[in-house]
Structures are given as structure tokens and as C-alpha cells.
């Protein structure tokens, strides 16, 4: 098996899944890419199936801030989980953001987060 396998999402978008042994061997390189500004995500799994995602700390912090500031986030998380389990076509992020009232172009106030 190759180190990266294409995986087609229900909506037709193709992502690349890195096998777990290759991800383990190249973890230091993934972090170097984060330090150089590449946001990832790096999707990891065996047999070409996505099982986990490696994202940068900065991206995780931003997602955590959004989650904390979003009323009813648990409902959004449940809806996302149901959507991923559905074999139907995927919904573009912009439509989901509009549905839950997120402005994807609005800067995130992370002034209360620790500085690097």
C-alpha cells in the first residue's frame, strides 16, 4: 500500500489519507510544516480510511474558541457527526456556517489566549 491513499468524500471531494506507519515516521516533518505555516490538516488512517486528523495547535485553539463562544455547540457537533455518518452528498462549509450563524471572514478574538 502507498503511504497516501485517495479517499472520496460523499460530495465527491477527494482527500488524501496518510497511513499510520508513515505518519508516525514523519511526525517531526508534519510539525515542521506547522511551524512553517502550513495548516494541514493531515488525515491519518489505515486501509485508506480516515481515522484521525493532525492539526496545528493554533488551529485547534481557534476551533476551541469558536466552540466556547458558540451557543448550542453540542448540537452543532452532533449534527456534524450525523452528517459524517450519512452517505449522502456533503454540504459545503459555507452553507453550514451560514446555517449556524458563523461568519467565516470574521477575525477571531484570541487576545485572552496565551501568547506563543
- Containing domain of residue 30, as a range? 4-100
- pLDDT of amino acid 25: 92
Residue 116 lies inside a defined structural domain of this protein? no
Residue 105 lies inside a defined structural domain of this protein? no
Domain count, the chain: 1
Positive or negative: CA dihedral 63, 68, 74, 79: negative
pTM of the model: 0.54
Residue 12 lies inside a defined structural domain of this protein? yes
Give yes or no for a contact between 23 and 42, defined as CB atoms under 8 angstroms apart: yes
- pLDDT of amino acid 75: 66
Rounded Cα distance between 30 and 40, Å, is 8
Residue 110 lies inside a defined structural domain of this protein? no
Residue 94 lies inside a defined structural domain of this protein? yes
Rounded Cα distance between 41 and 60, Å, is 11
How many C-beta neighbours within 10 Å does residue 105 have?
A: 6
- pLDDT of amino acid 1: 43
Give the burial string for 47-67 (b: 16+ CB within 10 Å, else e).
eeebeeeeebeeeeeeeeeee
41 phi-psi bin (left φ>0, alpha ψ -120 to 50, beta other) = beta
* pLDDT tens series, the chain, 116 aa: 468 899 988 888 889 999 999 999 988 998 898 889 887 789 999 988 999 999 888 888 888 777 766 666 666 667 667 766 766 666 677 777 787 777 888 887 777 776 76
Residue 115 lies inside a defined structural domain of this protein? no
- How many residues are there in the chain? 116
Residue 114 lies inside a defined structural domain of this protein? no
Residue 49 lies inside a defined structural domain of this protein? yes
Amino acid at each position: 500500500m502507498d503511504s497516501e491513499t485517495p479517499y472520496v468524500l460523499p460530495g465527491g471531494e477527494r482527500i488524501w489519507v496518510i497511513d499510520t506507519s508513515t505518519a508516525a515516521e514523519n511526525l517531526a516533518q508534519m510539525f515542521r510544516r506547522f511551524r512553517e505555516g502550513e495548516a494541514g490538516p493531515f488525515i491519518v488512517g489505515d486501509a485508506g480510511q480516515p481515522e484521525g486528523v493532525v492539526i496545528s495547535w493554533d488551529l485547534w485553539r481557534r476551533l476551541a474558541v469558536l466552540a466556547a463562544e458558540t451557543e448550542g455547540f453540542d448540537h452543532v457537533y452532533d449534527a456534524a457527526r450525523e452528517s459524517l455518518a450519512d452517505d449522502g452528498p456533503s454540504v459545503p462549509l459555507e452553507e453550514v456556517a451560514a446555517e449556524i450563524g458563523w461568519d467565516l471572514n470574521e477575525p477571531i478574538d484570541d487576545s485572552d489566549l496565551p501568547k506563543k
